[in-house]
Structure 1
Amino acid sequence: MKSKSSSRKTNFIPRSIFRTIGKVRQAFDPQAESKLVEEFRASQQRTLISIRFLLILIVVPVLVSQLSRNFVISPLVKALWNKEELVTFLNSSQEERALAELKRFEQAIYFEFHLNKTPKLSNEILQKKLKEKAISLTAKYRNESFDALTNVFVDLLSALIFIMIIIIGKQRLNIIKSLLDDVIYGLSDSAKAFLIILSTDLFVGFHSPYGWQIILEGALKRFGLPENKDFIFLFIATVPVIADTIFKYWIFRYLNRSSPSAVATYHNMNE
């Protein structure tokens, strides 16, 4: 009961007064300068460690992926891909794109003929041109399939190396996290609100589905997977909504406590 009553009494004194008193004590402390120098050196060392670890996280997986692609994975995949039993197309999407290109090529020939840009072609010459175009398309999509298989193994190896570096350097990762927290929470309220609006508009905003569609189609094409429109639309309809919900919960749960003025600025800028 005594502790509760004493805490109630101290609550009548603003906390800002205690912070001001603490700053005055630090100013008159004879060791204040040495402490500031030590804090500066510790902050400098922490920044250097974070930059080095970030460079390792970026450079090492990229170097490993490029070296493995050129000297290990690509020769192995090429040796298997040159066998006759392997097909040219990995999925139906590639075949549909090849047929569409061949059809456009045939239509372009007829279009140029009707514009009197080319003489009339016989059926044999037309079939010969279509055959040549089909052979070139086969080579094109064969190389695309080869690159897709190579990308799968290279990206898996890069992800494995990235995870191993994170596991080995877990302490350095914590240093980076604390440094990023200091940088982010040290920004002004307007800068925080600007970054929040920029990130939300990019990933969960009104125009974000177009960006998600381009990213998903590029990723599926990179790994030789079929470009399923139903899967892409289902992903766009669910993942950004979940991300938006998590983001709003983060604003309500954490940012509203640590920086309520930034949240108020965010709402004013967003209106």
Structure 2
Amino acid sequence: MPRKVLNQINQWIVKTPLRSLSEAYNAALAIQAIEEKHFAGQAIAKDSNHTDAAFSYFRDKRDSYLQVIRLRLAEFRTSGLLSNLLHASPDKRLSGEMSQDSDESTILEKLNLIESVLARYAIQRQLEATVFSQKQDQEVNLPFDETLPNFDETGSLQRIRSGSVFDTANQIKKELTPEYEREVLHELRTARKRTWRAIRFLILLILIPLMVQFAGKTLLIEPLIHQFNHSPQIVLTGEAKERALHDLAQFRESLEFDTLVNDSHQSPDSEPLLKAEANRLLERYSEENTEGIKNLIADGLAFVTFVALIYFGRQQMITLKSLIDRVFFGLNDATKVFLIILFTDMFVGYHSSHGWEILLEGIAEHFGFPSDRNTIFLFIATVPVMMDATLKYWIFNYLTRKSPSAVAVYRTMNE
């Protein structure tokens, strides 16, 4: 059974590079189809032939396909490297795949098309960024949050502007025009779309690493460890051996207690019972050591996946940060201060050391490491202090500018 699972994993790894390349190639073809059908063979860009809604639709499809291309191209390169490391003969490995429709010329043709599409839109993105920066320089020098739609307690849209009476009159005049309603609706749709993207990305940040951790541990790591771990002799680490001896001593004392309570001599069967219990404890703590290795590798894969999601989703991270800022600064001052004090007292308060001890001991046990008290105390003496300093810097440097009233409430509650 483990060999069958390993063969399936091996076939999946072998086919991953070509499968990823095909998906990236199909996404590039989809972008070309949109260009030829709706933009006269030119790059997907803003022009006079399409309305704002139509261009927004095509732009979203283009960005979605470009994201697929980047992800699949990275998967193609990474899985190709992994396949080369796991197999000694790459030519033999790919011979079955290349024989049908994946020879070297086809792969080069697909890569050339993919790179041309990426290069074309990389140049366009630089041009759009230049135009956007020039447009921003012409606007009033306001913080980023103030240029977005702002909702008051009744839900009406407000425009935060500073200027003379003439500027205010021009703003009121603009609000009476029909174009203003369309502009407001467009901004509301854009804000709703950003919110859904941020929520979806947050869910992916949570679910995908968990799925990778579970699937990697169950389908990949456990079969490999059981396949290569054929050592007949089981050796326990120092802490595991101490725990096994402690459990065995308790078992022996329990047998002696039962013998004394029953008012009889020690049973001749106590020695086999002790030996059986010792073997059971040996297998148990050996399995715990193996489980720690599995958890270490699986959690490492999940962490790499999490970092990759953040790296390839940098734009989504900006949207997510904007949503978190909007939610946090949308709270009243008392709620914001309550959350800050709750966080500080829980993680950097004077009574948080016991919680850190339990957390660090649990992490060490999860990975099968011995819980060294000196290391734990050193961590507690340094990390919470740095967290406290960072939080105070954030409060007095960032929160003071964003919500000075919340800082005043925070100082009052601390006093």
Question: Which category describes the TM-score, using the shorter chain as reference length?
Answer: 0.7 to 0.9
Aligned partner of 1:236 among 376, 380, 383: 380
Distance of 2:358 and 2:258 partners within structure 1: 33
Report Cα offsets for 1:82-141 as digits up to 9, x if no partner.
3225x442x311111111111122223333444x2x453526433222212111111111
- Whether the 8 Å contact between 1:61 and 1:158 is mirrored in structure 2 is yes
Matched, 1:64 2:221: no
**Aligned-pair distance for 1:197?**
0.6
Matched, 1:53 2:201: yes
Distance of 2:164 and 2:259 partners within structure 1: 87
In structure 1, the partner of 2:115 is none
Distance of 1:189 and 1:223 partners within structure 2: 41
**Aligned-pair distance for 1:221?**
1.0
SS of residue paired to 2:269? helix
**Mean CA deviation greater in 101-110 or 197-206:** 101-110
In structure 1, the partner of 2:89 is none
Aligned partner of 2:188 among 15, 40, 62: 40
- Whether the 8 Å contact between 2:259 and 2:267 is mirrored in structure 1 is no
In structure 2, the partner of 1:13 is none
In structure 1, the partner of 2:281 is 137
| CA RMSD across the alignment | 2.3
SS of residue paired to 1:61? helix
TM-score by length of 2: 0.56
In structure 2, the partner of 1:210 is 354
In structure 1, the partner of 2:38 is none
Matched, 1:258 2:402: yes
Distance of 2:311 and 2:394 partners within structure 1: 26
Amino acid at match of 1:186: G
Aligned partner of 2:247 among 98, 101, 104: 101
Distance of 1:186 and 1:58 partners within structure 2: 24
In structure 1, the partner of 2:83 is none
Report Cα offsets for 1:7-43 as digits up to 9, x if no partner.
xxxxxxxxx9947967775455124332321221111
1:82–1:120: structure 2 CA closer, same or farther, 3 Å change rule? farther
Amino acid at match of 2:369: L
Aligned partner of 2:335 among 170, 173, 191: 191
**Aligned-pair distance for 1:174?**
1.1
Distance of 2:208 and 2:254 partners within structure 1: 48
Report Cα offsets for 1:53-78 as digits up to 9, x if no partner.
11221222222222222221101111
Amino acid at match of 2:249: K
- Whether the 8 Å contact between 2:399 and 2:407 is mirrored in structure 1 is yes
Q: Which has the higher contact order (CA 8 A, sep 6+)?
A: 1
**Aligned-pair distance for 1:268?**
2.3
For structure 1, the 5+ residue unaligned runs are 1-15
- Whether the 8 Å contact between 1:64 and 1:158 is mirrored in structure 2 is yes
SS of residue paired to 1:178? helix
Report Cα offsets for 1:157-184 as digits up to 9, x if no partner.
1111111111111111111111111211
1:35–1:121: structure 2 CA closer, same or farther, 3 Å change rule? farther
1:121–1:179: structure 2 CA closer, same or farther, 3 Å change rule? farther
Amino acid at match of 1:244: D
Amino acid at match of 1:128: P
Question: Number of residues paired by the alignment?
Answer: 252
Distance of 1:188 and 1:50 partners within structure 2: 23
SS of residue paired to 1:164? helix
In structure 2, the partner of 1:125 is 269
For structure 2, the 5+ residue unaligned runs are 1-159
Distance of 2:203 and 2:238 partners within structure 1: 40
Amino acid at match of 2:240: Q
Amino acid at match of 1:196: I
Distance of 1:125 and 1:133 partners within structure 2: 13
SS of residue paired to 1:120? coil
